[in-house]
A = this chain, B = another copy of it.
Amino acid sequence: VDVQLRRRLNGPPVASVGIVGGGQLARMMQPPAVALGIELMVLIEDPTSGAGPVITRHIVGPPDSPEALRALAEATDVVTVDHEVLDLGLMATLETEGVVLRPGAATLAVAADKLAQKQFFVGAGLPTPDFIEVRSPADLAARPWPGFVLKSATGGYDGRGVWVRPSPTEAAAVLAWAAGAGVRLLAEEAVSPEMELAVVLARSPAGEMVVYEPVQTIQGDGMCRAVVAPASIPASFAALARTLGKQVAERLDVAGTMAVEMFLVDGEVLVNEIAPRPHNSGHHTIDACSTSQFENHLRAVLDLPLGDPGLRSPAAMVNLVGSRSGVDPRDRLAQGLAADPTARIHLYAKAPRPERKVGHVTVCDDDPRRALDRAWKVAEIMGGEVKR
């Protein structure tokens, strides 16, 4: 493991990982880093929230600062990311300069652009909902399906940048905005999935791969609200979902944890979107699996052997989301803990702005439906906006 060898020349034997972005994903990498003695360093804009209060070493700055990124790379063995809103050209340049970037710039370039993702799926022969690039109102008018979803290719997350079955007026407004902002748009055939699925996996540069059990994701307002593990689907679908996940990871040469979101629709499994990093659909792995997605991410980017992904118990995860009521889940910690002595509460040190994920609750229970019910209950008590 070359990164360890480098470190050992000038100090104790510590492998270190630099993280671009200091949100909850970076924050949740810290517990496994503590366990394994891995040193983390974040490039963070606001060191008072997310990963800031819990990771000793940080560089304060934006994720597209060449100086800050070079300082992060200089101080660590490998650089990874906690989001995809990056200067992709700069990341590619750094990689050319010798920065060990995992996932690599080519993977990030596909993941950061939904149009590139769709083109990659088609090129790789992976089933995915039909789509077109939308450059003009004429493109949209010529689409071959009535119901559609309009998406900005870049910059969207948690429902932002996605318009489901927009009205003609709304679609026209989006096109005008996109033309002005220089953002590419795509339209996808709207599908009505029987279930939304996600497969989380981790892959190391050495090519080792571990795949977590497929989960059901429950969406609301374009945002993942809850996850049930395992997804209650026939074994053949679960096997297919895992195979699709593995194909994506191999073809994209992913290093680290990756999530592949899918639709189960009309007896088919379609690939929807990918994220080459720990993902909301894998938060339950902290409490429900032998090795969490965060630990396996660190192990993978350092090219260490990966940990067993097995589900120790069925489980459900519900996000704590900021609500318009102004209730802060941090003020309801005692009530949440009292409500269910086996519930696992995770808070991200984030102010609860509306529609912002500020924490999550995981419950392990032999009955995954009961787990979901129990997790919703704790989430409701803690005052996040819950949409069952």
Considering only CB atoms, which chain B residue lies closest to A313 in the complex?
A: B312
| In the assembled complex, A14 has its CB within 8 A of some CB on chain B | yes
Asked if A37 and B290 make an inter-chain contact with CB atoms under 8 angstroms apart, the answer reads no
User: Which residues on B sit within 8 Å (CB–CB) of A39?
Assistant: 53
Taken together, the copies of this chain in the complex come to 2
Asked if B342 and A36 make an inter-chain contact with CB atoms under 8 angstroms apart, the answer reads no
Asked if A345 and B35 make an inter-chain contact with CB atoms under 8 angstroms apart, the answer reads yes
Query: Which candidate, A148-156, A215-223, A235-243, A301-309, is the interface stretch facing chain B?
Result: A301-309
CB distance from A51 to the nearest CB of B (A): 9
Q: A12-B349, A54-B56 are in contact. Are A337 and B35 (CB under 8 A)?
A: no
Asked if A308 and B342 make an inter-chain contact with CB atoms under 8 angstroms apart, the answer reads yes
User: Which residues on B sit within 8 Å (CB–CB) of A230?
Assistant: none
| In the assembled complex, A347 has its CB within 8 A of some CB on chain B | yes
Asked if A305 and B337 make an inter-chain contact with CB atoms under 8 angstroms apart, the answer reads yes
For window 198-221 of A, CB contacts with B under 8 Å fall at none
| In the assembled complex, A334 has its CB within 8 A of some CB on chain B | yes
| In the assembled complex, A353 has its CB within 8 A of some CB on chain B | no
Question: How many Å lie between the Cα of A109 and that of B35 in the bound state?
Answer: 31
Q: Mark A349-366, 1 if CB is under 8 A from B, else 0.
A: 101000000010000100
CB distance from A75 to the nearest CB of B (A): 14
Asked if B312 and A334 make an inter-chain contact with CB atoms under 8 angstroms apart, the answer reads no
| In the assembled complex, A4 has its CB within 8 A of some CB on chain B | yes
| In the assembled complex, A331 has its CB within 8 A of some CB on chain B | yes
Q: Mark A323-357, 1 if CB is under 8 A from B, else 0.
A: 00000101101100110011011111101000000
Q: A331-B8, A337-B299 are in contact. Are A37 and B305 (CB under 8 A)?
A: no
Asked if A1 and B334 make an inter-chain contact with CB atoms under 8 angstroms apart, the answer reads yes
| In the assembled complex, A76 has its CB within 8 A of some CB on chain B | no
- Determine the interface band of chain A, counting residues with CB < 8 A from chain B: 35 or more
Q: Name A37's contact: one of B37, B56, B291, B330 (CB within 8 Å).
A: B330
User: Which residues on B sit within 8 Å (CB–CB) of A144?
Assistant: none
Question: How many Å lie between the Cα of A299 and that of B55 in the bound state?
Answer: 21
| In the assembled complex, A9 has its CB within 8 A of some CB on chain B | no
| In the assembled complex, A27 has its CB within 8 A of some CB on chain B | yes
CB distance from A78 to the nearest CB of B (A): 14
Question: How many Å lie between the Cα of A55 and that of B31 in the bound state?
Answer: 11
Residue from A39, A55, A334 whose CB has the most chain B CB atoms within 10 Å: A334
User: Which residues on B sit within 8 Å (CB–CB) of A313?
Assistant: 312
Considering only CB atoms, which chain B residue lies closest to A28 in the complex?
A: B34
Q: Mark A20-32, 1 if CB is under 8 A from B, else 0.
A: 0000000110110
Asked if B56 and A345 make an inter-chain contact with CB atoms under 8 angstroms apart, the answer reads no
Q: Name A56's contact: one of B55, B308, B351, B364 (CB within 8 Å).
A: B55
Q: A56-B56, A308-B342, A341-B306 are in contact. Are A331 and B35 (CB under 8 A)?
A: no
Question: How many Å lie between the Cα of A354 and that of B169 in the bound state?
Answer: 74
Asked if A54 and B30 make an inter-chain contact with CB atoms under 8 angstroms apart, the answer reads yes
CB distance from A44 to the nearest CB of B (A): 12
Question: How many Å lie between the Cα of A8 and that of B332 in the bound state?
Answer: 12
Residues of chain A at the chain B interface (Cβ within 8 Å): 1, 4, 8, 12-15, 27-28, 30-31, 33-37, 39, 53-56, 286, 290-291, 299, 304-308, 310, 312-313, 328, 330-331, 333-334, 337-338, 341-342, 344-349, 351, 359, 364
A-B contacts, 9 listed (Cβ < 8 Å):
A4-B331, A12-B330, A14-B349, A35-B347, A36-B333, A290-B341, A290-B364, A307-B337, A312-B364
**Given pairs A291-B341, A307-B341, 7 additional interface contacts (CB within 8 A):** A14-B349, A30-B31, A31-B35, A37-B333, A37-B348, A290-B342, A305-B334
